[in-house]
Amino acid sequence: MKMKERKWTLIIFVIILIAYILPYTLFTNVTKWYGSFLLWTVLALITIMVNYLITKDWGKEE
């Protein structure tokens, strides 16, 4: 595995840990739209951004 990939793996791993942990701890009593609903939505958007960054140069190195 290349160094760059290790970095991205770690970042995605942290995002997913947050997605499992926060809704069941910090946000478990926040009965608002800006609780778990917003958190998961934002984490998904960040993941999409990360995927964009990982794949940015695909096809250029062929």
3-state helix, strand, coil in the chain (%, to 5): 70, 0, 30
| Tokens describing residue 6 | 């290790």
Could you say whether residue 5 binds other proteins (CB under 8 A)? yes
Q: Does 3 bind other proteins (CB under 8 A)?
A: no
Q: Is 48 within 8 Å of 11 (Cβ atoms)? A: no
32 belongs to the binding site for other proteins (CB under 8 A): yes
In the complex, the residues that contact other proteins under the rule CB under 8 A are: 1, 5, 8-9, 12, 15-16, 19-20, 23-24, 27-33, 35-37, 40-41, 43-45, 47-48, 50-52, 54-55, 58-59, 61-62
